[in-house]
Amino acid sequence: MENLTEKAILKINNFHRDEKSAVEYFQTILESLKFPVPGPKSYDQDIVVKLKEENFSFNPSKIINEIKETGAAGSIQSILDSKDRYLAPTIDIGILAMPPSVSAKISVGTASLKQSIRAPGVIKNSGNMLVDEILNYRKSICQNSSTEKFSMCMQLYRSYLQSCISLIDWFLNQYANYVKLTIPNSNDFDNIQTLTSRLSVEKRIDA
C-alpha cells in the first residue's frame, strides 16, 4: 500500500504570472523603453528596434511566455534595468586559479562602497545571491513538506523569510548609499536617517 504521508504537500507553481498579468507587464516595459507596442495579433512577429548603432530584435510571444515562467522579461528586462541609476545590474567576476608566481586583485565599487579581494576569489552581486538563496529555499521547502519532514520544512521556511527580509534590506541600503553621494549632509533629512537606521523594515520602507 502506498504511504501517502511521504508525499510533499506543497508544490511550486510552474508560472509566476498569469497570461493577463504577463501581457500587462510586457506592455508596461515597452512603454517605459519607448518601444512600439504590438497588438495581440502581432505577437508572433519579431519586433526590431534601434539601440545605439545596432538593431535589436525580440519576439513578443517568447518574451510573454518568459514573463509567465520567471516573472521577468528576459532581454528587454535587462535593457530596462540598465537605465536604473540606483539598481543597474552588475556582473559577477572571479579568478579561480593563478600561476604560483602571479598575483591578482579584484576590486568593485557601488556608490561610496568599495570592495577588493585577492585571487583566487569571486565577487558576486549580493542582491543576486539573495535571490538565488530565496529560490533555492523555496524549492527545498516544497521538497520537504511531507509529514515526516515537517520540522525541516519549518526550518527552511524561517530561512526563506529571513532571506526575503535581507533582500529588502539590500534594496534599501543600495538606494541609501547612492543618495548619500548626492546630498551634502544627509543628517539634515529625517527620511535618510530612518532609511539607514536599525528600525523595522516597515518603517524604513515608509521613509
Contacts of 17 (CB under 8 A, 6+ apart): 25, 67, 68, 71
pTM across the whole model? 0.71
Q: For 36-60, write each residue's pLDDT tens digit.
A: 999 999 999 999 998 888 899 999 9
Q: Are 178 and 86 in contact (CB under 8 A)?
A: yes
What number is the average pLDDT over the span 12-41? Answer: 91
- Sign for the CA dihedral angle at 180, 172, 64, 89 comes to positive
73: closest CA among 132, 12, 24? Answer: 24
Give the pLDDT confidence of 148-196 residue by residue, as tens digits.
888 999 999 999 999 999 999 888 888 877 777 777 776 767 777 777 7
Report how far residue 183's alpha carbon sits from residue 197's, in angstroms, rounded to the nearest whole number: 17
Cell representation of residue 182 = 548626492
Domain boundaries, the chain: 1-83, 91-123, 125-207
